[in-house]
Amino acid sequence: MSLFFYEKTLYFPFLYANIQFVIISINNRNDYDNVELGEVHMSDQPVYIKKKYEKRHPYVTYTLMLFSVMVCFLLASCSENKASSSNDREEDELVYASTKDIRDINPHLYGGEMAAQNMVFESLVVNTEKGVQPALAKSWDISKDGRTYTFHLRKGVTFSDGEPFNAKAVKLNIDAVVKNIEKNAWLNLVSEIKSTKAVDDDTFVLTLKEPYYPTLEELGLTRPFRFISPKSFIDGTTAKGVKSYEGTGPYVLKEHKKNQYAVFEMNDHYWGQKPKISTVKWKVMPDHQTILLALQKGEIDLLFGADGDMIDGDSFQALKEAGQYGVTVSPPVGSRSIVINSNQPITKDPKIREAFQYAIQKDMITEGILNGTEKVAHTLLAPSVPYADIPLKKKTYQKKKAEAILDEAGWRMKEDGYRYQNGKLLSVAIYYNSDNAGERTISESIQQDFKQVGIKLDIRGEEKQAFLDRQKTGKFDLMYSLSWGLPYDPQTYVSSFRVASHADYQAQLGLKKKKWLDEKITEVLVEPDEQKRKQMYQEILTYIHDENVYLPISYSVTKAVYNKRLKGVGFHVSQYEIPFDRMYFAS
């Protein structure tokens, strides 16, 4: 059996069940030089293999979990199981594996998985590669002053429970979102809505306080402006839950067993083109090893996700090279960065934040950890993002420059290899979501780089809710961060900088011009003149860049691995949505 991403052909007669994990352990330069590429060291439990590290750190300790290597060793041995597992399922049933349960998919709240919400609920308009396009509204008119939007609704549309979709239902849903302002304040459009009116069954009027330019884009987001049947409301509201999940989308939720699976079936009432796959089974598999084994055995058809939350870079590369699965990668969908807190004792110093920018070997992360699937980022937002193609200084890896900045800031290197100032160690902590193995690996790479210039970095993983709670408190030095990608970037993402529960807001509190920044963001969102908006965004993004409150790493992508019989696999503009309705199985 060929171990395709090494330089030798190796054979493994032992059973995979006896291998618990693989550790690549290169602890110093001598070890690195003395072990040949492809050489395997076997003991009773671990297997030690040297991987190619030309573009990684010259010596690191790096861990690959079992699922990264299974794809190399066991593809052939799983073929019989794969065939039998595939035949056990219905021809038009797609099984999607996720590490997360769908939870509560009420479209007006935020507890559920967005991909599941998108299958069931629709909006007036939809964000596409070509811009905003009609959805439940077939057309719309905008007043000259930009404050009034008149939507002309599709006729004959019903919710999955048979209830008619009309202007009254639109008003009921949008009013419910606006009333729950406490939950929805992050989205500026909610605060800009002055009134709603159902003129007749097919005409709905939305009036704004000011001419808010991202109105259509934000109406087309996955949440909260999606529509649920009036019969699902509880006492005229959705703020505390709903009776059922009845939408107008291509699928309906038929069954949900918490933390095990959910079954979506085609909506017989759907107004648009019916999906070719009648059933989607959302299978919950919290363990990444289990997911990869299930894929090999043919028990699942699709892995799909951004930021390594579903599949790490090494496993993706291995599956790609195996040639037994379909693989595809989206264009860049967001920005991967580290947010640096300007309101903490050490990182409040602008010199410290500046030194961080020059201390990181970003190409080691993009080429080594991410296997070249993502490009190095030098700015918070990619130049391809609207209003973000502006002249900003590139801050590339320069070890000597980082050291000089730290010296200038008064931090002196001691014999232990770390810097001190008045007896205090230069030590900071980075927090990440422990559910994401890729985030830890990236943090470890940063830790190695920081150590080279005398900075001690503690790595602290937290469960998702604890991670989110920490953002609200601002009790962090560094925190792993992702921009939201299109269609949220730049307007909705930048708007959230003013929301106290977000890490961005907390990290910016130490900036001298934080008040100016928030005011400028408020102004740009209601500026009707395109050229003035461009200038204002340039001022906002330049200030953020110059203050070094973000350490850009790469421009993230969404990856999909799937059964080769599955066709039509692609991407929506939003990284949080999965286009199940476009997919089909080849006969």
CATH assignment at residue 278: 3.40.190.10
* Residues 44, 144 within the same domain: no
* Residues 551, 562 within the same domain: no
How would you list the strands of the sheet with 47-49, edge to edge?
A: 40-42, 47-49, 22-25, 61-64
Q: Is 499 left (phi over 0), alpha (psi -120 to 50) or beta?
A: beta
* Residues 123, 164 within the same domain: yes
* Residues 264, 175 within the same domain: no
Q: Could you give the CA distance from residue 306 to residue 482 in angstroms, rounded to a whole number?
A: 10
* Residues 142, 226 within the same domain: yes
Task: Give the type of residue at 577.
Answer: E
For the chain (587 residues), the mean pLDDT of every run of 10, in chain order, is 30 30 38 41 35 39 40 46 53 92 97 98 97 98 98 99 98 98 94 98 98 98 99 97 98 98 98 97 92 94 82 85 94 95 98 99 95 95 96 97 99 98 98 87 97 99 93 97 95 96 97 98 97 98 99 96 97 96 95
Report the run of H or E that residue 340 belongs to, with start and end: strand 334-340
Give the pTM. Answer: 0.85
Q: Is 92 part of a structural domain of the chain?
A: no
Closest to 85 measured CA to CA, from 289, 287, 304, 281: 281
**pLDDT computed for residue 307 by the predictor:** 63
The domain boundary, picked from 64, 89, 122, lies at 64
Q: Is 76 part of a structural domain of the chain?
A: no
The domain boundary, picked from 232, 265, 295, lies at 232
Q: Is 534 part of a structural domain of the chain?
A: yes
Cα atoms in the 13 Å half-sphere on the side-chain side of 58:
6
233 contacts: CB under 8 Å, gap ≥ 6: 172, 176, 242, 243
Q: Is residue 510 a contact partner of residue 348, using CB atoms and an 8 Å limit?
A: yes
Q: Could you give the CA distance from residue 337 to residue 101 in angstroms, rounded to a whole number?
A: 27
Q: Is 84 part of a structural domain of the chain?
A: no
* Residues 323, 421 within the same domain: no
Q: Could you give the CA distance from residue 416 to residue 542 in angstroms, rounded to a whole number?
A: 38
**pLDDT computed for residue 54 by the predictor:** 38
Name residue, tokens 């989607």: 280
516 contacts: CB under 8 Å, gap ≥ 6: none
The domain boundary, picked from 232, 265, 286, lies at 232
* Residues 296, 411 within the same domain: no
Q: Could you give the CA distance from residue 491 to residue 543 in angstroms, rounded to a whole number?
A: 16
**pLDDT computed for residue 313 by the predictor:** 78
Q: Could you give the CA distance from residue 147 to residue 521 in angstroms, rounded to a whole number?
A: 19
Q: Is 238 part of a structural domain of the chain?
A: no
Which is it for strands 40-42 and 251-257: parallel, antiparallel or unpaired?
unpaired
Q: Could you give the CA distance from residue 262 to residue 240 in angstroms, rounded to a whole number?
A: 22
Q: DSSP H helical segments within 398-463, as ranges?
A: 399-408, 437-452
* Residues 393, 308 within the same domain: no
Cα atoms in the 13 Å half-sphere on the side-chain side of 185:
9
**pLDDT computed for residue 435 by the predictor:** 79
Q: Could you give the CA distance from residue 551 to residue 477 in angstroms, rounded to a whole number?
A: 12
Supply the range of the domain harboring residue 323: 250-330+558-585
Q: Is 67 exposed, middle or buried (0-12, 13-18, 19+ CB in 10 A)?
A: buried
Distances in Å between the alpha carbon of 498 and those of 218, 221, 240, 387, 504? Answer: 17, 19, 26, 19, 8
Q: Is 317 part of a structural domain of the chain?
A: yes
Q: Could you give the CA distance from residue 414 to residue 11 in angstroms, rounded to a whole number?
A: 49
* Residues 278, 175 within the same domain: no
Q: Is 428 part of a structural domain of the chain?
A: yes
Closest to 341 measured CA to CA, from 95, 111, 153, 510: 510
CA torsion angle for 235, 236, 242, 246 (degrees, to 10)? 130
* Residues 368, 493 within the same domain: yes
Number of domains in the chain: 4
* Residues 135, 148 within the same domain: yes
Q: Could you give the CA distance from residue 456 to residue 452 in angstroms, rounded to a whole number?
A: 9
CATH assignment at residue 392: 3.10.105.10
* Residues 284, 263 within the same domain: yes
Which is it for strands 279-284 and 261-266: parallel, antiparallel or unpaired?
antiparallel
DSSP 378: S
DSSP 158: B
Q: Is 81 part of a structural domain of the chain?
A: no
Q: Could you give the CA distance from residue 131 to residue 480 in angstroms, rounded to a whole number?
A: 30
